[in-house]
């Protein structure tokens, strides 16, 4: 068999053996790692769901374009044809000022007040559906329309989507910071686990060095141990999130039905899951590497 491969296989088996020989402490550190990872990963999962929710609600972003009071029917048809040709506009609807007043009269219960007005205070308006829901694109469309002649005011009806979006950005930043902090915690946990292992295996390490083991040979099982522990912690984090979703989904569905839409939390995508596992494996490896590097040199046979 290939020497390199057999060395790695040996190290892997040894790491698994060590992991299973002390199941309780191993389990505890794995759970600690899992919980630490589940916080940022769970936050990321929530953010992803909120993002898809906001996209779902503001699926057809609308702008209201109010014309100047003195605009006539030629201005209206001119703007209508310009809107028809605009690439960002998917459809639009003209609301004449009279029908707007009529709507106000019926919808608000202010008919007495409206009747007492000597003239219609409302402008003619267009309600525009944009093609793109990206808040940046919408904003540039808004300012562009604003500059057209005889346009008094353009209002982005989905301004709240923009607010939600920046709120989500903030949330993303918070998750990132949490992930960074807890990554350090994970590295520290692994560092300590491996340190204890090295101390309890001092004799073995010393004898191995005396009979010709290279540093790589001694280091490898510890690195595998750290990586396996990190990976298992990642799996535990995934399970914790899955459990959280399972427990809250029914209640969420009830809540969402009150607002007449269908909403269920989705778990991380398979790509995100893979990233989570790879990242936790890598962190475990790093913690083990740091620990082995700083402790192994102290064990020199005498």
Partner 1 sequence: MINFSNVSKRYPNSYDALTKVSFTIESGEMVFVTGHSGAGKSTLLKLIAAIERPTSGTIIVNGQNVGALKGGTIPILRRNLGLVFQDQKILFDRNVFDNVLLPLQISSFDPKEASGRVRAALDKVGLLSKEKAKPITLSGGEQQRLCIARAVVNRPSILIADEPTGNLDSDYAHEIMNMFRSFHQVGVTVLIATHDAALLGGSQDRILALDRGILTV
Looking at residue 156, the DSSP 8-state letter turns out to be E
Residues in Cβ contact with 239 at an 8 Å cutoff, skipping those fewer than 6 apart: 34
With CB under 8 A as the contact rule, the residue among 109, 211, 254, 259 that binds partner 1 is: 211
If one asks whether residue 302 binds partner 1 (CB under 8 A), the answer comes out as yes
Q: Select 97 or 209, whichever has its Cβ closest to partner 1.
A: 209
Q: Is 49 in the site for partner 1 (CB under 8 A)?
A: no
* Nearest alpha carbon to residue 298 among 215, 191, 177, 180: 215
Which lies closer to partner 1 via its Cβ, residue 18 or residue 162?
18
* CA dihedral (279, 281, 282, 284) positive or negative: positive
Determine if 206 is a binding residue for partner 1 (CB under 8 A): yes
Site for partner 1 in 215-254 (CB under 8 A): 215, 217
The reply to whether 301 sits near partner 1 by the rule CB under 8 A is: yes
Under the criterion CB under 8 A, does residue 214 sit at the interface with partner 1?
yes
Stretch that binds partner 1, among 71-79, 105-113, 203-211, 266-274 (CB under 8 A): 203-211
Three-state secondary-structure class, residue 171: helix
From the centroid of its chain, how far is CA 182? Answer: 17
Round to whole Å and give the CA distance between 139 and 157.
11
Distance CA 165, CA 137 (A): 13
Minimum gap (Å) between residue 26 Cβ and partner 1 = 17
Say how many residues touch partner 1, by CB under 8 A: 20
Please tell me what DSSP assigns to residue 11: H
299 binds partner 1, rule: CB under 8 A: no
Q: Is 210 in the site for partner 1 (CB under 8 A)?
A: yes
Q: Which of residues 53-92 bind partner 1 (CB under 8 A)?
A: none
Sheet with strand 89-95: strands edge to edge:
89-95, 125-130, 62-67, 151-156
Which of residues 80 and 301 has its CB atom nearest to partner 1 in the complex? 301
Among 167, 204, 261, 278, binds partner 1 (CB under 8 A): 204
Nearer to partner 1, 205 or 231 (CB): 205
Q: Which residues contact 95 (CB under 8 A, 6 or more apart)?
A: 124, 125, 126, 127
Q: How far apart are CA 48 and CA 55, in angstroms?
A: 11
Q: Quick one: which of 181, 207, 253, 255 contacts partner 1 (CB under 8 A)?
A: 207
Q: Which stretch binds partner 1 (CB under 8 A): 28-36, 198-206, 243-251, 288-296?
A: 198-206
Task: Check if the beta carbon of residue 222 is closer than 8 Å to that of residue 292.
Answer: yes
- 10/148 with CB nearer partner 1: 10
Positions touching partner 1 (CB under 8 A) are: 1, 3, 6-7, 10, 203-204, 206-215, 217, 301-302
């Amino acid at each position: 068999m290939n020497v390199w491969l057999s060395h790695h296989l040996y190290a892997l088996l040894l790491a698994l053996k060590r992991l299973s020989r002390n199941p309780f402490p191993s389990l505890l550190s794995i759970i600690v790692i899992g919980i630490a990872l589940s916080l940022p990963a769970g936050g990321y999962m929530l953010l992803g769901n909120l993002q898809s929710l906001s996209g779902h609600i503001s699926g057809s972003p609308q702008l209201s374009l109010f014309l100047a009071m003195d605009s006539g029917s030629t201005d209206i048809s001119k703007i209508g044809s310009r809107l028809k040709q605009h690439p960002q506009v998917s459809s639009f609807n003209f609301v004449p000022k009279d029908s707007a007043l009529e709507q106000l009269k019926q919808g608000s219960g202010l008919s007495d007040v409206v009747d007492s007005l000597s003239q219609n205070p409302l402008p003619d308006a267009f309600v525009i559906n944009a093609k793109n829901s990206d808040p940046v694109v919408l904003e540039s469309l808004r300012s562009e329309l604003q500059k057209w002649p005889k346009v008094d005011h353009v209002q982005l009806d989905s301004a709240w989507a923009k607010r939600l979006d920046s709120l989500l950005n903030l949330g993303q930043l918070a998750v990132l910071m949490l992930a960074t902090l807890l990554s350090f915690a994970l590295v520290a946990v692994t560092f300590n686990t491996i340190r204890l292992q090295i101390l309890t295996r001092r004799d073995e390490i010393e004898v191995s060095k005396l009979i010709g083991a290279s540093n790589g040979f001694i280091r490898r099982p510890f690195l595998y141990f750290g990586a396996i522990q990190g990976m298992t912690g990642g799996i535990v984090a995934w399970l914790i999130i899955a459990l959280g979703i399972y427990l809250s989904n029914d209640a969420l569905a009830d809540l969402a039905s009150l607002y007449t839409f269908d909403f269920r939390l989705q778990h991380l995508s398979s790509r995100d899951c893979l990233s989570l596992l790879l990242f936790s494996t890598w962190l475990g490896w790093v913690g083990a590497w740091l620990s082995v590097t700083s402790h192994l040199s102290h064990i020199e046979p005498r």
